Every structure is written in C-alpha cells, then in structure tokens.
Amino acid sequence: MPSPFIRKMERLGPLSEEERRVLLSATQATRMIEPDQDIAREGDRPGQSCLLLDGFACRYKLLPDGKRPMLSIHIAGDFCDLHSLYLERLDHSIGTLTRCRVAFVPHGTIRDWMASYPRITRALWHDTLVDGAIHREWVANVGARPALERFAHLLCEVAARMRWCGLAQGKECELPLTQSELGDALGISLVHVNRVLQELRRDGLVELRRGMLVINDWDRLAEIGQFDPAYLYVGAERPS
C-alpha cells in the first residue's frame, strides 16, 4: 500500500519507478514531534520544507489579542510549507495537533527534483495550487456560513481528504482535535463548537468522540455544509 504522500503525488497521473524512489528516499530521515509543538514559526526562514508523514498538524497565526486562528489542517501526506521554497519568510506558524512524524526535505533537494523530474514538479505545483483553493474555500466558509454549516463543511473536507489519501474508509475517520482547536479552525468559540456538535449528533449526522469521527449520514452532512469537493481537485469519486 502506497504512502499517503505518494498517493497524493500520483493524483495527476502515475510516476515512474525512479520518481517514486526519489520521493520515497526523501521520507527516510524522519523525526517525531510531540503534540502542540511548533514545527516552524512565523518569521522563520526555513531551508527545508516539512512533509507530514503521520499525525495531524495545522497552520496558524498568533494574533496580538491572543487569538490563534487556524489557517489549514494538515494530514499525513501533506507538505505544510512547500511555499517556503520561494517565499523568504513564513507568514504563519506550523504546529502539531497530535504527535507527528515528519520528514524535513531540504529546499536544495526539492530544487533538484524540479530540475530533473517534470512530473514531480508538476505534482508539487498542483499540490500548492490546491492548497490555495482550500484557503479560498475556508475564506468563504468562515466568511459566509453560520456555525452549524461551517462545522459540517469542515468535517466533510477533512473526511474527504483523509479518504482520498487512503487514510479513512467507511464512515469512520480520525479527527483528534479538541473542541477548542476546532473553534480556532472555525472561528467560533469553544462553547459554541460544543453546542453545534451536539446538534449534529442529535440529528444523527455524526459522532465525534475520542478523536474519532463517524459520519452517519454523509449526504445530509454535505448538504448542510454545502460541501462540493470540486475545490479539492480530486476525481469525482464520492465517499459513502
């Protein structure tokens, strides 16, 4: 079974044996990072990009008033800061949500890939652009949808992304975020997360306990969240 990373890279089309080998070799030297630790901080000038191999991480900004808006959630297979390859300093921090296994890929290595393997280059850029598309969806989600719909949308997104990387099947899916973290991701308070979640539970749509999400009624959840996976740019495959 291929790693989530390779699987993601192959979304656009198969890679050659050599390309797979090159990518895999970068994921050999890994590091474990404990939960709630920063992988990189706003203002850093990293000389490497962080490939998440296992666990959950997020991008976030720390605001002067102490708020900590989350900008994206990352799962195994995601490059968290591929953009640092061209953007001199990080405009946000990256932190772990759970214990994570990561591979730090030196920018030089990525540049070498790009010089030699056009399909890898293509896949990396594609991934970066999808990243932007996800940001746009979040802007719309946070800016225009009330809490219940916003929450439903987020759950759909994470479940869909997990599924498409082979990290979830059936109705279950890991989602080890605290309600407080979900609040940061949704732009609503911890208390309100709790109430909205109860509503989703009461209606039999989802269960979420001990870091495990169960989606009992995908169709209705997607309808409430107005979730259309087009922006994830994967095949039209529908989880069910």
Binding site for a second copy (CB under 8 A): 43, 59, 61, 63-65, 67-72, 83, 86-89, 91-92, 122, 125-126, 128-133, 135-140, 142-145, 186-187, 226, 230-231, 233
Kindly tell me which of 27 and 189 has the beta carbon lying closer to DNA. 189
Could you tell me the end-to-end alpha-carbon distance of the chain, in angstroms, rounded to an integer?
Answer: 22
194 binds, among DNA, a second copy, none (CB under 5 to 8 A by kind): DNA
**Alpha carbon separation from 115 to 21, 118, 127, 200 (Å, rounded):** 16, 7, 18, 49
Kindly tell me which of 59 and 161 has the beta carbon lying closer to a second copy. 59
**Nearest distance, CB of residue 86 and a second copy, angstroms:** 5
Helix 147-164 / helix 190-202 crossing angle, nearest 10 deg: 80
**Nearest distance, CB of residue 131 and a second copy, angstroms:** 7
**Nearest distance, CB of residue 63 and DNA, angstroms:** 12
Kindly tell me which of 116 and 198 has the beta carbon lying closer to DNA. 198
Phi then psi for residue 132, to 5 deg, are -60, -40
Local structure of 6: helix, strand or coil: helix
**Alpha carbon separation from 29 to 8, 62, 101, 102 (Å, rounded):** 20, 30, 10, 9
71 binds, among a second copy, DNA, none (CB under 5 to 8 A by kind): a second copy
Local structure of 71: helix, strand or coil: strand
Among residues 1, 210, 235, 236, the one that binds DNA under rule CB under 7 A: 210
| Binding flag, residue 64, DNA (CB under 7 A) | no
Q: Look at strands 38-40 and 57-60 and give their pairing.
A: unpaired
Of 219, 137, 230, whose CA–CA distance to 185 is shortest?
137
Site string for DNA, 144-183 (x = CB under 7 A): --xxx-----------------------------xxx---
**Contact residues: DNA, CB under 7 A:** 146-148, 178-180, 187-192, 194-198, 210
